């Protein structure tokens, strides 16, 4: 067993000391978040109350995070069902707000696929009044910190405090997250992408073009074979991208069709966009940088294209080409249509 590893608590304390203006309040809040993640990891490892419905598991995860953070910050937490609860601290109001998707990928629990928690820290308004939902509707560029916990064969927390991305693995022998993946970087190039092919009928034209050229493999325009993945958990997809590169796509829909269940900007897309950008990747809707979008409600959803920079830039470029009215049609389309840009 390796001794004297850097624990999550020690890491954030040392990070605070390096700051021009140390902030013990932020350090304490991040410690509360990691404690909540430990409790959720323990519950997931026991089958997350398997006798109950998935919704009950998500609600339990939300209750855990609310309980852990309520003493130090105002928290807007979701149980993964689209609704959010706003909880105020028992002590005097602090300087921070927390947004949290308590259990991302909850539908995967019964098949033992990794699930996770997504979180972000925002600055509270400088006011004597209690914060309201509207105070959480800040652009992702305003996030002080962001991260996620993944509950799989091992439990991890991956976090960015605005200067890189670092991964911590839960050492169950000592009950602490320890630094195992310092300064994580996403490879710029990849031959792996994740998309829900069952939603193909909703995809907009640039995404259709990208997926088709990938599926054509060595015989196609890209001249190389690609691998397509889909796990149904944003946390699992982003974690894979951080470890070995890749691209996650949840596209916008055509003008007549709306893609269902897109990631929510506040709870999911903004925190993950910060992580990906801090690790050298790119996060976009295809037409705008995710972190520059100010949410108009906690339930606002957005298209998401994030991961290895060069591949993400290619998809963003296809959106720009399409918006200029230039053709991206294939001679042998994958989806049995004469042209990629069908009329109607």
Residues 234-281 pLDDT 10s: 999 999 999 999 999 999 876 555 666 789 999 999 999 999 999 999
- pTM: predicted TM-score of the whole model, two decimal places: 0.89
- How high is the pLDDT of residue 55? 56
- How high is the pLDDT of residue 113? 83
How high is the mean pLDDT of the chain? 86
Percent of the chain with pLDDT over 70: 85
Query: Pick from 118, 119, 123: which is nearest to 23 by CA?
Result: 123
Distances (CA, A) of 87 to 79, 126, 343: 14, 18, 49
* Angle between helix 54-69 and helix 24-45 axes, rounded to 10 deg: 150
Contact 271, 136 (CB under 8 A): no
CATH architecture of 8-181: 2-Layer Sandwich (3.30)
The mean pLDDT value for 61-66 works out to 89
Residues 283-297 pLDDT 10s: 999 999 999 998 999
Distance (Å, whole) CA 78 – CA 85: 6
- How high is the pLDDT of residue 336? 45
The mean pLDDT value for 196-211 works out to 92
HEC assignment per residue over 93-123: CCCEEEEEEEEECHHHHHHCCCEEEEEEEEE
**Residue 63's beta-bridge partner residues?**
none
- How high is the pLDDT of residue 121? 95
How sure is the predictor about 333, in pLDDT bands with cuts at 50, 70 and 90? very low
**Residue 91's beta-bridge partner residues?**
none
Residues 122-161 pLDDT 10s: 998 876 677 888 889 999 999 999 999 999 889 999 999 9
The H-or-E segment that residue 267 falls in is: none
CB within 8 Å of 83: residues ≥ 6 apart: none
Contact 315, 303 (CB under 8 A): no
Distance (Å, whole) CA 83 – CA 216: 40
Distances (CA, A) of 223 to 193, 247, 339: 16, 18, 21
Please give the residue that has the higher pLDDT: either 30 or 126.
30
Contact 178, 6 (CB under 8 A): yes
How sure is the predictor about 334, in pLDDT bands with cuts at 50, 70 and 90? very low
Q: What is the CATH number of domain 192-323?
A: 3.40.190.80
The mean pLDDT value for 91-114 works out to 83
* Angle between helix 309-323 and helix 205-215 axes, rounded to 10 deg: 130
Domain boundaries defined on the chain = 8-181, 192-323
- How high is the pLDDT of residue 255? 56
Distance (Å, whole) CA 326 – CA 318: 10
């Amino acid at each position: 067993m390796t001794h004297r590893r850097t624990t999550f608590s020690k890491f954030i304390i040392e990070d605070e000391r390096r700051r021009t203006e140390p902030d013990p309040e932020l350090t304490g809040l991040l410690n509360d978040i990691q404690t909540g993640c430990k409790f959720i990891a323990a519950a997931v490892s026991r089958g997350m109350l398997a006798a109950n419905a998935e919704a009950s598991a998500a609600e339990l995860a939300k209750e855990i995070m609310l309980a852990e953070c309520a003493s130090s910050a105002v928290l807007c937490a979701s149980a993964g069902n689209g609704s959010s609860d706003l909880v105020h601290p028992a002590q005097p109001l602090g300087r921070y707000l927390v947004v949290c998707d308590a259990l991302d990928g909850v539908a995967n629990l019964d098949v033992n696929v990794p699930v996770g928690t997504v979180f972000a820290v925002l600055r509270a308004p400088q006011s004597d009044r209690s914060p309201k939902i509207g105070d959480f509707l800040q652009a992702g560029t305003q996030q002080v910190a962001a991260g996620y916990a993944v509950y799989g064969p091992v439990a991890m927390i991956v976090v960015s405090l605005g200067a890189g991305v670092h991964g911590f693995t839960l050492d169950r022998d000592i009950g602490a997250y320890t630094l195992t993946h310092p300064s994580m970087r996403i490879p710029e190039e990849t031959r792996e992408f994740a998309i829900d092919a069952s939603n193909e009928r909703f995809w907009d034209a640039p995404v259709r073009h990208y997926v088709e050229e990938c599926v054509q493999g060595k015989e196609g325009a890209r001249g190389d074979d690609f691998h397509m993945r889909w796990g149904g958990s944003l946390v699992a997809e982003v974690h894979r991208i951080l470890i070995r590169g890749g691209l996650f796509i949840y596209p916008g829909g055509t003008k007549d069709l709306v893609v269902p269940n897109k990631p929510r900007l506040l709870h999911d897309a903004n925190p993950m966009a910060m992580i990906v950008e801090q690790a050298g990747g790119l996060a976009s809707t295809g037409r705008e940088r995710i972190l520059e979008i100010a949410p108009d409600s906690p339930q606002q959803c957005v298209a998401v294209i994030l991961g290895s920079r060069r591949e993400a830039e290619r998809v963003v470029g296809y959106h720009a080409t399409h918006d200029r009215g230039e053709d991206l049609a294939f001679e042998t389309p994958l989806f049995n249509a004469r042209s990629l840009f069908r009329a109607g």
